[in-house]
A and B are shown apart, each in its own frame.
Chain A
């Protein structure tokens, strides 16, 4: 069965600092990997996705993620965090048929 682990429940960074959110997955085949962002009381918005090709993928809002098959990881990064990035971030592994398994999420707090 597929699974996703986000080791960090809560991360606090200063505005302008760099950010890395960790994600490890377990999946039997080549995974479809996603990062979603959720503002309080809202639905999830797709930040970026990986399903093949270049292992460094670019997303919206200046985010990027790197797929490392040897480490079963798909970490999310941003070089300079803005206060508006404060939200909850979910890593997910998906099947081509559409079912997705989500991690428990990482809450990002941005200090002024």
Chain B
């Protein structure tokens, strides 16, 4: 079945360590997105990529980095510069085709806890 796979589902790290969250999709979608979710704050856009080898900052990009070397993959690195990294991270994809109706397709999320 086609879908978006995020891993790991749970991740614990010490302060000062970089961590990388994986996002893989087999939907052949062009665009991919990373959102951060905190209680009571909805989803906030971190980074997005509409084509391979290109990506743009979202609303809260500071302390994060991404790469898009393959269409299927959009990993997110949470760096030590991120002041409050504990959160639930959601990856989504979007088919950049005519006639699309704008909805995003989400993975199951990764919960990062920094100790």
Contact = CB atoms under 8 A, between A and B. Distances in A.
Interface of A: 9, 32, 34, 36, 41-46, 49, 51, 90, 94-105
A93 to B, nearest CB: 9
A34 B103 contact: yes
Interface in B30-51: 31, 33, 35, 40-43, 45, 48, 50
B102 A94 contact: yes
Contact of A96 (B45, B48, B100): B100
A32 B4 CA distance: 23
Contact of A94 (B4, B48, B103, B107): B103
B74 interface: no
Interface of B: 4, 6, 31, 33, 35, 40-43, 45, 48, 50, 88, 90, 92, 94, 96, 100-104, 106-109, 111
Contact of B90 (A44, A94, A99): A44
